[in-house]
Structure 1
Amino acid sequence: MRLSRYFLPTLKETPAEAQIASHRLMLRAGMIRQGAAGIYSWLPLGLKVLKKIEQIVREEQDRAGAQEVLMPTIQSSDLWVESGRYDDYGKEMLRIEDRHGRQMLYGPTNEELITDIFRKEIKSYRDLPKNLYHIQWKFRDEIRPRFGVMRGREFLMKDAYSFDLTEEDGRKSYNSMFVAYLRTFARLGLKAIPMRADTGPIGGDLSHEFIVIADTGESEVFFDKAFDALDPMIDAGAGDDLQPIVDEWTSIYAATDEIHKPDNCPVDASKLVTGRGIEVGHIFFFGEKYSAPMGASVQGPDGETTNVQMGSYGVGVSRLVGAIIEACHDADGIVWPESVAPFKVGLMNLRAKDDECTAACDKMYAELTKAGVDVLYDDRDQSAGAKFANMDLIGLPWQLAIGPRGLKNGVVELKNRGSGERVELSPEDAVTKLTG
């Protein structure tokens, strides 16, 4: 994509309302713009990142055996009355009345609706287990939306729901999602630590939240450095016993500041790591909390009718954009992990009015694009300093600068955004490195 044609409204100054790094940088990098408090439009650069995160989340859900559906944003209040949550949920729920006087709501989560779908279609234990997920926009009317997409009112979320015959089978589904989450966050370039959590309004007695470690995280967390030795990219097949893996990850000490008791901490001070954390995922096993009141039951192998065992599994997809930036930025801007970067390479023409320089840049752009490399080509007539600063701000993994001086010596300059390392090499070698 040529930057002269791309909609990328970057800002030199930080808007006054932006209090944390991700909010500042998403506004400055032209990724989002606010439409109302806690509600944002996603501009081309931000949307590319959002879609890449969404796809990684989707691939890991599919790998774990979950099946994708798509449920609506608007739900009938009748289902929530039936489950007993309509009055309990509170003012975060946006309640709507349609033209016929029916009470509707903008879904903050989907336990009720997916349970209704299940109970109408599944009647026998032979059709179990099932795990259904979707990636959909949600709305929660936060009393104080802030921090950009980190605590907005409208957000994109992946939520999955498992249905099993027995509690033992339900916990197997829970373990499968636990492992899928470890892999998902690792692929996103994040260090995520599972911590036992309160189930809150979702309910149940088993829950873990996945905390990303970032200097600017929301809350203080404490964990054993033994986590560093664990590999989150677990290669487990369908039907494998994942309980030992889950036990290994959950047996290591990890606690938020609300739970951590310094005087009773089981970890030696030399092994205890203190950091800041951001919640990016939350998983729950709640048994019959929804299946019992809503009649989601199947006929078991003994002919008896039994309520199914359920769990739910959420990932804040849009929140992850902010979380990644919180974990991956420096004084100059964003430093994207390559797996989610909006473009792999930022190609800069340092002298747009020079015909030879422009011809070399056009050729490089064509070669990289043909090789399948996603390139943002800064072909604008601006100073070299402004172009370098802009590329640092938006944080693409590689910067490729071509100028008249380098061309005379037969070289271009390649910079790695993460390490800051700069090298001069031939145009041919640059293409080889970027396509290798």
Structure 2
Amino acid sequence: MRASRFFISTLKEAPSDAEIVSHQLMMRAGMIKRLGSGIYTYMPMGLKVIRKVEAIVREEMNHAGAIELLMPLVQPAELWQETGRWDKMGPELLRVKDRHGRDFAIQPTSEEVITDVVRSEIKSYRQIPLNFYHIQTKFRDERRPRFGLMRGREFTMKDAYSFDRDLEGMQKSYKIMFDAYTRIFTRFGLKFRAVAADNGAIGGTGSHEFHVIASTGEDALVYCPTSDYAANMEAAEAVATGARAAAGAALAKTSTPKASKCEDVAKLLGIDLKQTVKTIALTADKEDGSKQHFMLLLRGDHELNEIKASKVPGLAQNRFSTEAEILEVYGCKPGYLGPIGAKGPVTVVADRTVALMSDFVTGANEEDFHFTGANWGRDMAEPALVADLRNVVEGDASPDGKGVLAIERGIEVGHVFQLGTAYSESMQATFLDENQKPAPLQMGCYGIGITRILGAAIEQNFDDKGIIWPASLAPFELVLCPMGMDRSELVKAETEKLYNAALEAGIDVILDDRGQRPGAMFADWELIGVPHRVVIGERGLKEGNLEYQGRRDTEATAVPVAEALAFIKGKIQK
């Protein structure tokens, strides 16, 4: 490719609405152009990267035995109504009507459509296992689209769906896809981590997320450096160790004026924050219109994990209690709540750590007062439930017992789910077994954010000059930068010779024949992030050399003209 025949449009400054590095650099490098809120045109330079991502994904999915098809962007509401997600998805699901007033969804995902395809095609156990995948545009009507391709409304994803006869088969298909994802992200040249995750709204029985490691990542990843344990913050188990100590202090009602937070109470009383217990009041609204009130207790320095809380019996559908409800149930305003002396009926749920505490400080259900020296059994009944309610912190014991936990930041770019029969049962997708008896298909679901990969890769690989693409994702592997090609026949001849040789060798090369000044030319390609650059100048040629510089190199290397192609091929293959 010659730069004069390609479209290159770089900017010195990023638009003011570009908040994070990847968004800023993609805009400056002319890879994307904003059309509307969370909607972007993929410009030629950016589309080249997307196509390379897609090629790697296709190769590995095909190698793993998946079969490509293409499902529609617009999907009839009836399918979504079969699974109940037409109502459950909420405003993120963009709904439209056709000219006849029929409802459709602009797909954010395709579980319903693929299940509909399979239930009409699969009749016998002899036709499975089966795995279909597609790479397709999606749309999610994000409330606050931001960060460019990282949190846009329109984006491209690879979805795959496996179908098996039983749980064992589904788990085998899941492992095949997990291994395929590991190969995909390895080929991308990115540092990544696979972590256990919560299935969330998609349903099912188990899942893993694949995260690109980046200090700017939105997600906290929990792992044990001395074992294989890894999970995202939502799913990471918080282990409580040791045994509860015997009571050593008398219960005392202590004045704590204007100290409604554990941090303020600890400071006022001159104690460690870890000796305090905070109360979180939740309410579950039942179908019959009644309410059930829950008191969740966490150590003062710990944070509530709402996903874990939703798994407590009775709290699948919960909300934070209103101030009026708190006054009615506890008899005081928020900030002074505790398990001793609450007015109304309430279910006390203690975090594992709190259940092992003694001589702790908790609210007295009276404004400006807390109890000190509180102990389970002696001063209050044992909690109705003990559960894992909190986010883990660095240094917690690893759940596998093989060390302590560490935390790093990541960007989710892939997710694999064991769906089980969540969709096949609701949509009656069955097959006939050897005894000609119908059974629901066991499903797995596997997604990769194709366009999100670009943002994640940049967040992991950049410097003050611009993007540093891994070789497998770069829009071009090599850029040739001739100095005065229009003025020197020697430079022109050697440039054309090397350019043609690189093309014949299968190198994805671009020749910058735009006639720009060296500084502007180099700045463009450093911004765009091409990993290998060769400068051809008359002075160097007279000495028999070209000048090579890798994108991460601090200095250029002189390379003999006769050895240039072999040298470049060696660098690219590393």
The alignment's TM-score, normalised by the length of structure 2, stands at 0.69
Task: Tell me the SS of whatever aligns to 2:88.
Answer: coil
In structure 2, the partner of 1:380 is 514
In structure 2, the partner of 1:265 is 397
Letter in 1 for 2:215: D
- For residue 284 of structure 1, the aligned residue among 401, 409, 417 is 417
Structure 1 residue 61: deviation in Å?
Answer: 1.0
In structure 2, the partner of 1:3 is 3
Judge conservation of contact 1:216–1:326 (CA < 8 Å) in 2. Answer: yes
Q: Matched residues in 2 for 1:347 and 1:190: separation?
A: 26
Q: Matched residues in 2 for 1:54 and 1:63: separation?
A: 14
In structure 2, the partner of 1:393 is 527
Q: Tell me: CA distance 1:221–1:209, structure 2 relative to 1, closer, same or farther (3 Å).
A: same
Do structure 1's residue 304 and structure 2's residue 304 form an aligned pair?
no
Taking the TM superposition and a 5 Å limit, the aligned residue runs for 1:221-300 are 221-226=221-226, 251-256=228-233, 259-262=391-394, 264-266=396-398, 273-300=406-433
Q: Matched residues in 1 for 2:217 and 2:471: separation?
A: 22
Judge conservation of contact 2:396–2:404 (CA < 8 Å) in 1. Answer: no
Judge conservation of contact 1:22–1:322 (CA < 8 Å) in 2. Answer: yes
Task: Tell me the SS of whatever aligns to 1:22.
Answer: helix
- For residue 331 of structure 1, the aligned residue among 440, 464, 473 is 464
RMSD: 1.9
Judge conservation of contact 2:221–2:230 (CA < 8 Å) in 1. Answer: no
Judge conservation of contact 1:132–1:161 (CA < 8 Å) in 2. Answer: yes
Q: Flag structure 2 segments of 5+ consecutive residues without an equivalent.
A: 235-304, 306-390
Moved over 6 A (4+): 267-271
Q: Matched residues in 1 for 2:429 and 2:207: separation?
A: 22
Structure 1 residue 333: deviation in Å?
Answer: 0.9
In structure 2, the partner of 1:93 is 93
Taking the TM superposition and a 5 Å limit, the aligned residue runs for 1:33-432 are 33-226=33-226, 251-256=228-233, 259-262=391-394, 264-266=396-398, 273-355=406-488, 356-432=490-566
Q: What CA deviation, in whole Å up to 9, does each residue of 1:149-204 have, x standing for no partner?
A: 01110111000111111111111111111111111101101122111112111101
Letter in 2 for 1:176: I
Q: Matched residues in 2 for 1:285 and 1:274: separation?
A: 25
Q: Tell me: CA distance 1:357–1:272, structure 2 relative to 1, closer, same or farther (3 Å).
A: farther
Q: Percent identity?
A: 48
Task: Tell me the SS of whatever aligns to 1:87.
Answer: helix
Q: What CA deviation, in whole Å up to 9, does each residue of 1:107-127 have, x standing for no partner?
A: 110000000000001111111
**Higher mean displacement: 273-282 or 68-77:** 273-282
Structure 1 residue 142: deviation in Å?
Answer: 0.4
Q: What CA deviation, in whole Å up to 9, does each residue of 1:305-334 have, x standing for no partner?
A: 111111111100010011111111111111
Task: Tell me the SS of whatever aligns to 2:501.
Answer: helix
Structure 1 residue 270: deviation in Å?
Answer: 9.3
Judge conservation of contact 2:413–2:452 (CA < 8 Å) in 1. Answer: yes
Q: Matched residues in 2 for 1:376 and 1:52: separation?
A: 16
Q: Tell me: CA distance 1:8–1:95, structure 2 relative to 1, closer, same or farther (3 Å).
A: same
Q: Matched residues in 1 for 2:501 and 2:123: separation?
A: 57
Structure 1 residue 219: deviation in Å?
Answer: 2.6
Letter in 1 for 2:153: R
Q: Matched residues in 2 for 1:254 and 1:208: separation?
A: 8
Judge conservation of contact 2:397–2:403 (CA < 8 Å) in 1. Answer: no
Structure 1 residue 94: deviation in Å?
Answer: 0.8
In structure 1, the partner of 2:22 is 22
Task: Tell me the SS of whatever aligns to 1:115.
Answer: helix
**Higher mean displacement: 268-277 or 315-324:** 268-277
Letter in 1 for 2:398: P
Letter in 1 for 2:397: C
Task: Tell me the SS of whatever aligns to 1:264.
Answer: coil
Letter in 1 for 2:82: E
Q: What CA deviation, in whole Å up to 9, does each residue of 1:68-124 have, x standing for no partner?
A: 111111100000001111111010111110111111111110000000000001111
Q: Matched residues in 2 for 1:55 and 1:422: separation?
A: 32
Q: Tell me: CA distance 1:177–1:269, structure 2 relative to 1, closer, same or farther (3 Å).
A: closer
Structure 1 residue 215: deviation in Å?
Answer: 2.1
Letter in 2 for 1:328: N
Question: Size of the alignment, in residue pairs?
Answer: 413
Rg larger for: 2
